Chain A
């Protein structure tokens, strides 16, 4: 039975076409995967389905009836539930309150909390989604938050469930658990769509795959009848070769962390972190989001000094721990969040390029900015790194993610850093841009720089690193050579089981 049908959906934002003539259907009890790169139009399509956006053309039918456009309420009533990638939850309210909001008539003089509590408990039991109704959402883990999101949809009697990148913030184990739950829901008659760009989960969890590229449906396959390789090519549109790492020759220790501790600065805290970064090698730090990566990156980038322990630069404790000194000491920094941290959208491109080195005599003298030199340098970076859509005097806000990253890499690499701290360098980029970033990182390593790669992407870490450490709960695991690592072992390490890693490290040292 057809429960959902999207017909010829077209949506434009100004000059950009996000969806063009997209048609899609979903049957009862089915799980389909909506596969596509960032910017392929997946989220836009689902937002139209849910009524957050109004399509320029096309219709949405749920169980045969057409949904009025632009009305989330109508979508909810028709039985469509959406689990957002960025959880739509209020952290200061309780689980029960989050679930209840908007489920009763607004003008009732008293809300029926007891009834809501009962219904939530029933659903929770029926689908095995355990959560404390009176806990504040701010106290929950990401996995629990996601459960609340799913429960919210079920509470609204959703028969069609849409999940936007549901595993983005989960550990491998949590993701497995999630997909088991989804299977069970499908078996109980729910129909599901999940959005993803991860091939392995698409292959393992869906019945059918719809591939979006450039806003159009380019292919539709029954999952058993396709392969990872085929899907990859359909998704990207061409065969993109990521650059290969050739074994390097590590040199002296450039950067060493000794028992670093730091209380949560905008992230989880560090509780005794040890690592050694050599010249000419890439040290990969793998981990699930929220285990202290952000704090570690900030510490090494010079944003905040450690509370305890020492960060040794070429064996010495730096005299001052701040950003200008870190940069002057040859640390190049690629921030985790390009738009929030790496660039100031409403400043000119040249200002964004020189701001972090504005103290350098090249770019200022006696407090006066040397605009000529700054613009010259910017021009060179735009040319050498093929930054498209950027002009020296234009605002940086409009750059695409890939070009923004090229510009950031350009400003960092121009100074020839000996140490490169790259936090989530390819997050949110498309395949072509990722290949470019990887190439630059390998190039820097080839020239003798030490690269500290902090990433949540297993493939990326395996492809680029010489040695790998996992970050769990603010601590770093022993380092293992990448040759000894595979997805299963890294999964164990990310889950906090370091016994094998210890053995390997021990054997390595001998």
Chain B
């Protein structure tokens, strides 16, 4: 048996890849559910019902998708340029922390809401950027693989958040688990639906996806960053400034992840805790791959993950299947997607 590169991968096949990948992952996860003694079809029915069946469920799904779109974009933008930013989780937390810190400035509470929100988002994005520029600098300067450094920084970031919310940023009024001082009310994102948690961050996330798509498809920067990722040697022969392009990509990627953290604080929680993210940064990597690094595809992939996460919560209450099945399915879909993409490019002979 061997693999032969397809001369012309058909567009239909490429579009079909994520569908096939998700189906394959669902089949495997279904087997795991069946082994655990439940009916897989019933479980998936309950997941769908939990995610879409009620106004509340639906709003929760969209709320959950919001940060996932942004962390997915962060990974997609970076991976396009072969910048392996695995530090989305850390950038998310630092972005969130930056917002909370910015909100503690007394003057912020007096700003008009639009300005307060904008400045807070900016603070989060800038913090996320800085968080990624470190590993990039180490790569450019010392040739250190950014995968491991950005991964390790995730742990440092969460510890730093923990230190701040137990120290300088501790909310004196909070009981129990430590949390940061809440952001002032004028910086909170407006709600999109009454009596739900769904907030305007969703619009920002979708807008960001469209903007990133435009940048990648239509601008000189987009073309250069793609070239730098696909073939750095040829790109540099064509005069693409590799270092500068990577720095810009890192700013965009880190900024988006930081923005995700900022929006989560301003839209949902209002303050920072160390369990603010159930792994949004890591899920972003899966979402980016599932979308084949296409910014618009990220929206769909993020929705899929959100449906799984939200639906599995309610499903696991009804059947005794651990809600971790959602994580298993989503992680599996990354692996099946890799195989599906491979099959779009190669055919199997004999």
Q: Do chains A and B touch in the complex (CB under 8 A)?
A: yes
Rounded to whole angstroms, the CA-CA distance of A342 and B227 in the bound complex is 12
Rounded to whole angstroms, the CA-CA distance of A394 and B220 in the bound complex is 19
Which parts of B61-112 form the interface with A (CB within 8 Å)? Answer: none
Closest to A298 in B: B237
State whether A340 touches B234 (Cβ < 8 A): yes
Rounded to whole angstroms, the CA-CA distance of A359 and B241 in the bound complex is 12
Given contacts A355-B223, A358-B223, contact A335 B7 (CB under 8 A): no
Pairs A-B, 6 closest by C-beta atoms = A323-B239, A356-B238, A355-B238, A344-B231, A341-B237, A324-B239
Interface residue A301 (Cβ < 8 Å from any Cβ of B): yes
Rounded to whole angstroms, the CA-CA distance of A425 and B233 in the bound complex is 18
Interface residue A347 (Cβ < 8 Å from any Cβ of B): yes
State whether A367 touches B221 (Cβ < 8 A): yes
List 14 additional contacts besides A322-B239, A323-B236, A355-B235; criterion CB under 8 Å: A13-B4, A301-B237, A302-B239, A323-B237, A323-B238, A323-B239, A340-B231, A343-B234, A344-B227, A347-B227, A351-B227, A356-B239, A359-B239, A369-B220
State whether A346 touches B238 (Cβ < 8 A): no
Rounded to whole angstroms, the CA-CA distance of A369 and B216 in the bound complex is 11
What 0/1 pattern do residues 206 to 239 of B give for CB contact below 8 A with A? 0000000000001111111011001101111111
Rounded to whole angstroms, the CA-CA distance of A418 and B7 in the bound complex is 37
Query: What are 25 residue pairs bridging A and B, where the CB atoms are less than 8 Å apart in the complex?
Result: A302-B239, A303-B237, A322-B239, A323-B237, A323-B238, A327-B239, A335-B237, A340-B231, A340-B234, A341-B233, A341-B237, A342-B234, A343-B234, A344-B230, A355-B235, A355-B238, A356-B237, A356-B238, A358-B220, A359-B239, A367-B219, A367-B221, A368-B218, A369-B223, A371-B218
Rounded to whole angstroms, the CA-CA distance of A368 and B219 in the bound complex is 4
State whether A341 touches B234 (Cβ < 8 A): yes
Contacts of A346 in B (CB 8 A): 230-231
Contacts of A343 in B (CB 8 A): 234
Rounded to whole angstroms, the CA-CA distance of A371 and B237 in the bound complex is 21
Given contacts A367-B220, A368-B218, contact A342 B230 (CB under 8 A): no
Interface residue B240 (Cβ < 8 Å from any Cβ of A): yes
Contacts of A344 in B (CB 8 A): 227, 230-231, 234-235
Contacts of B236 in A (CB 8 A): 303, 323
Closest to A333 in B: B237
Q: Which of B7, B220, B223, B224 is the most central at the interface, judged by chain A CB atoms within 10 Å of its CB?
A: B220
Closest Cβ of chain A to B42, distance in Å, is 44
What 0/1 pattern do residues 327 to 356 of A give for CB contact below 8 A with B? 100000101000011111111000100011
Closest Cβ of chain A to B251, distance in Å, is 15
Closest to A301 in B: B237
Which parts of B263-294 form the interface with A (CB within 8 Å)? Answer: none
Closest Cβ of chain A to B238, distance in Å, is 4
State whether A342 touches B221 (Cβ < 8 A): no
Closest to A346 in B: B230
Interface residue A398 (Cβ < 8 Å from any Cβ of B): yes
Rounded to whole angstroms, the CA-CA distance of A358 and B218 in the bound complex is 12
Closest to B7 in A: A398
Contacts of B7 in A (CB 8 A): 14, 398
Interface residue A23 (Cβ < 8 Å from any Cβ of B): no
Contacts of B221 in A (CB 8 A): 367
Interface residue A364 (Cβ < 8 Å from any Cβ of B): yes
